[in-house]
Amino acid sequence: MSERPPEVHPTTWRVLHALQAGARLSRNRHFWLYTDPQVRRAEKIHRFLRSIIRDVRAHPDHVRVEAVPGEDDQVALRIEIPQVGGHRVAYLRPFELELLAAEAPEVAHALRGALGH
């Protein structure tokens, strides 16, 4: 995904791409970076997407995806976790799906397949 969505700050977008490319931004070594809330937001989105990827890979047969009505193409992802008898629900915006597709194409493909796209 090369074009920045309008709802994402340019700094957040650049940091997200750096993190996806493998940049390691330690809070101890780059403490000045983390004074910017947009950098912290990028780190939060990156960790969120990595956790989605990890959970979908761990429970591929227990994933349900559905569109959220009236929410600009947002999707709800429900992952059943049978070992603990629980579930996780995550809401993904279109740009997050695109970032997810860049990092883990097989996970994005499975989600889109479950959605019917």
Q: What are the tens digits of pLDDT across the range 69-112? A: 766 778 888 888 777 778 888 888 888 888 888 888 888 877 77
Instruction: Parse the chain into domains and list their residue ranges.
Output: 10-115
Q: For position 71, what pLDDT does the model report? A: 64
Rounded to whole angstroms, the Cα distance separating 111 from 54 reads 13
Helices (H), 21-104: 37-58, 94-103
Q: 1 pLDDT exceeds 70?
A: no
* pLDDT tier for residue 44 given thresholds of 50, 70 and 90: very high
pTM of the predicted model as reported, rounded to 2 decimal places: 0.80
Mean pLDDT score of the chain: 83
